[in-house]
């Protein structure tokens, strides 16, 4: 069996990770070749946008309960063990990998050399070995792409082996079920099996960087998007959990995109970890999100979408999943920062999609409130799509990304605190969720209004306007904002039933307080004082 494609001197998978007796090895194929292989093998189709469309199979989202970290000398006292970082036995890891190797015996594999971190000081080489061509193309789209001459001497630091067709046996392998994503910090390997969801590949490396950068390099790693003003060259970052608007709001025709999901904040720069974007496509329209819409062309990979007859994507089709996605290399967006690096942020946005409709669409946080809300990491999702279920469910995910944090959240919060202290960086809380009532009564905030509020904040137009204070949460809300009706700026004013608002707000406040109990012992009093004030009822 042979090596096909472009590969360098260090291309012996047996020597590096013990992978032998494979079928053909396809090294660093071009997107066109990977598209061709995907289509020829019946794993995907070409859409009339030029983008490839694939289905990821049984899993159309990440599976947090099947994500493990190998427990060993290196991780024992550094990793924050629990529901997020679930322990996996080092011996079991080796045994499972042996079974994966056996599975890959005689099979063709696709190999991709890539790296993470746009700042060369922190660049980390990654080699991704995949069973499927489209998983490989995802890695091409999402990670940074070495130049052809860099492939020659490419030395991988981390390896990912991704075999969606390999199903683990919990009784033998020590997994929870047949799918898994396992991080091994000592061997610098990530094993992914039983799931074809591509997001596991990118979030695996994100988790690695969330360990390495803060722990070993004093860099704050962040689950955020980032962009730079065309004229002022000011950097803005947007933190938020899934679905809160990081990708959508960071694509802005007046600002160059640094990146849409994962960044590091070093001494004086913010840099992208990735080389691509991973956007949601549900209900995507050119009118609302022109940059993302236009990025869907040859080279992009659409996941789990439906079709309106023939090969035309139907972005309203949620029959496979709500989480339909597209990945594309960042240069599919026309105004990007090159390289993907900006200066220290001038504005920080915390995005929350508050389905209770309690939080204001924009408010300005004090430093203490910023720390409190960063540690809380609040958003609220709509409970389900079933008829009659109208009660949203709260999510508190520390640092707006606990699912990807191998270290204790206090570590990241401490780094953020150090970066904020003594600066005039603005921190804004943005509710991209509900207004006029909770889910079921109110409606989602108009995207055009959210964009206008962010633009106003970024251009200093909220510096000299009047502010009022939202009770309970004690948030400073502007009373006017260009291109936004003033009536929507105070959430209580948008509710017909004020008593219902007050009760819902109080109820949400008590959830914040309860969630924060676990951090109370190690949090400074001034930050604790920024908690919402639950009213006695
Ligand atoms: P992930 O971490 O999963 O990538 P994300 O934070 O990047 O999530 P987006 O992909 O930007 O989230 O998703 C936001 C979704 O909400 C988009 O589909 C967008 O069209 C929709 N949306 C509706 N109203 C708003 C609003 N007011 N602000 C932002 N997004 C909105
Ligand atoms: Mn996103």
Residues 81-99, mean pLDDT to the nearest whole number: 98
Mean pLDDT of the chain: 96
Residues 493-509, mean pLDDT to the nearest whole number: 97
Distance 279 CA to ligand 1 centre (A): 9
Cα–Cα distance for residue pair 510/504, rounded to 1 Å: 10
pLDDT classification of 390: cutoffs 50, 70, 90: low
Cα–Cα distance for residue pair 303/318, rounded to 1 Å: 11
Distance 250 CA to ligand 2 centre (A): 9
Catalytic residue numbers read 62, 203, 223, 242, 246-247, 261, 325
Residues 420-442 as b/e (b if ≥16 CB within 10 A, e otherwise) read beeeebbbbbbbbbbbbbbbbeb
State yes or no: cis peptide before 339, omega within 30 of 0.
yes
Task: Check residue 522 and give its pLDDT.
Answer: 87
Residues 323-347, mean pLDDT to the nearest whole number: 97
pLDDT classification of 318: cutoffs 50, 70, 90: very high
Q: What is the DSSP letter of 475?
A: E
pLDDT tens column, 392-418: 899 999 999 999 999 999 999 999 999
* pLDDT for 327 beyond 80: yes
Distance 163 CA to ligand 1 centre (A): 30
Residues 54-74, mean pLDDT to the nearest whole number: 97
* pLDDT for 387 beyond 60: no
Q: Kindly state the percentage of the chain with pLDDT values over 70.
A: 98
* pLDDT for 343 beyond 90: yes
Task: Check residue 484 and give its pLDDT.
Answer: 98
Task: Check residue 85 and give its pLDDT.
Answer: 98
Task: Check residue 388 and give its pLDDT.
Answer: 58
Q: Is 0.85 surpassed by the pTM of this model?
A: yes
pLDDT tens column, 4-39: 999 999 999 999 999 999 999 999 999 999 999 999
Q: H or E element: which one contains 139?
A: helix 133-142
Name the least confident of 192-196, 288-292, 519-523. Answer: 519-523
Q: Is the CB of 279 under 6 A from ligand 1?
A: yes
Task: Check residue 383 and give its pLDDT.
Answer: 64
Cα–Cα distance for residue pair 91/243, rounded to 1 Å: 37
pLDDT tens column, 362-386: 999 999 999 999 999 999 987 655 5
Angle between helices 199-217 and 409-420 (to 10 degrees): 60
Task: Check residue 218 and give its pLDDT.
Answer: 96
Task: Check residue 495 and give its pLDDT.
Answer: 98
Query: Which ligand is nearest to the Cα of residue 251, counting in written order?
Result: 1
Closest by Cα among 282, 312, 274, 336 to 61:
282
Task: Check residue 15 and give its pLDDT.
Answer: 96
Task: Check residue 1 and give its pLDDT.
Answer: 73
Query: Which ligand is nearest to the Cα of residue 353, counting in written order?
Result: 1
Q: Is the CB of 242 under 6 A from ligand 1?
A: yes
Cα–Cα distance for residue pair 182/361, rounded to 1 Å: 38
Task: Check residue 386 and give its pLDDT.
Answer: 54
Contact 163, 192 (CB under 8 A): yes
pLDDT classification of 297: cutoffs 50, 70, 90: very high
Cα–Cα distance for residue pair 10/159, rounded to 1 Å: 13
Q: For residue 26, give the 3-state DSSP assignment.
A: strand
Structure tokens, 252 = 């802005």
What ligand 1 atom has the least distance to the C-alpha of 288? 20
* pLDDT for 359 beyond 70: yes
pLDDT classification of 537: cutoffs 50, 70, 90: low
Strand spans (E) along 103-218: 109-116, 124-130, 158-163, 180-184, 189-193
Distance 246 CA to ligand 2 centre (A): 5
């Amino acid at each position: 069996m042979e090596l096909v494609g472009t590969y360098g001197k260090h291309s012996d998978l047996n020597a590096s990770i013990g992978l032998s007796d494979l079928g053909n090895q396809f090294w660093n194929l071009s997107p066109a070749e990977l598209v061709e292989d995907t289509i020829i093998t019946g794993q995907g189709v070409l859409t009339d946008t030029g983008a490839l469309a694939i289905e990821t199979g049984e899993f159309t989202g990440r599976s947090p309960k099947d994500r493990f970290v190998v427990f060993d000398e290196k991780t024992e006292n550094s990793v924050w063990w629990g529901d997020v970082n679930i322990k996996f036995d080092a011996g079991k890891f080796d045994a499972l990998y042996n079974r994966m190797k056996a599975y890959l015996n005689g099979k063709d594999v696709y190999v991709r050399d890539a790296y993470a971190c746009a700042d060369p000081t922190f660049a980390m080489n990654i080699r991704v070995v995949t069973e499927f061509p489209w998983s490989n193309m995802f890695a091409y789209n999402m990670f940074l792409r070495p130049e052809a001459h860099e492939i020659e001497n490419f030395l991988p630091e981390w390896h990912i082996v991704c075999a969606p067709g390999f199903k683990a046996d919990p009784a033998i392998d020590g997994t929870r079920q047949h799918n898994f994503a396992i991080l091994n910090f000592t061997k610098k390997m990530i094993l992914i099996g039983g799931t074809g969801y591509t997001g596991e590949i990118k979030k695996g490396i994100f988790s690695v960087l969330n360990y390495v950068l803060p722990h070993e390099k004093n860099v704050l790693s962040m689950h955020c998007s980032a962009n730079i003003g065309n004229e002022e060259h000011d950097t803005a970052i947007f933190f938020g959990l899934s679905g809160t608007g990081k990708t959508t709001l960071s694509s802005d025709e007046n600002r160059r995109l640094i990146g849409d999901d994962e960044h590091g904040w070093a001494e004086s720069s913010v840099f992208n970890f990735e080389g691509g974007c991973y956007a949601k496509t549900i209900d995507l329209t050119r009118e609302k999100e022109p940059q993302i819409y236009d990025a869907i062309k040859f080279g992009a990979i659409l996941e789990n979408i439906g079709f309106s007859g023939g090969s035309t994507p139907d972005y309203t089709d949620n029959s496979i999943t709500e989480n339909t996605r597209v990945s594309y290399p960042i240069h599919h967006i026309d105004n990007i920062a090159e390289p993907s690096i900006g200066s220290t942020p001038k504005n920080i946005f915390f995005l929350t999609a508050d389905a209770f409709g309690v939080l204001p669409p924009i408010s300005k946080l004090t430093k203490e409130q910023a720390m409190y809300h960063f540690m809380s990491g609040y958003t609220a999702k709509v409970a389900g799509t079933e008829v009659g279920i109208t009660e949203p469910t709260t999510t508190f995910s520390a640092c707006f990304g606990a699912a990807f944090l191998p270290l204790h959240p206090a570590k990241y919060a401490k780094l953020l605190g150090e970066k904020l202290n003594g600066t005039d960086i603005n921190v804004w809380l943005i509710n991209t969720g509900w207004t006029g009532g909770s889910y079921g009564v109110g409606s989602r905030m108009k995207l055009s209004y959210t964009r206008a509020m962010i633009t106003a904040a970024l251009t200093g137009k909220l510096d000299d306007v009047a502010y009022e204070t939202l009770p309970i949460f004690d948030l400073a809300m502007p009373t006017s904002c260009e291109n936004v009706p003033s009536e929507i700026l105070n959430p209580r004013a948008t509710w017909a039933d004020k008593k219902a608002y007050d009760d819902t707000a109080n109820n949400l406040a008590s959830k914040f307080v309860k969630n924060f109990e676990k951090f109370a012992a190690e949090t400074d009093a001034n930050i604790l004082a920024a908690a919402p004030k639950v009213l006695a009822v």
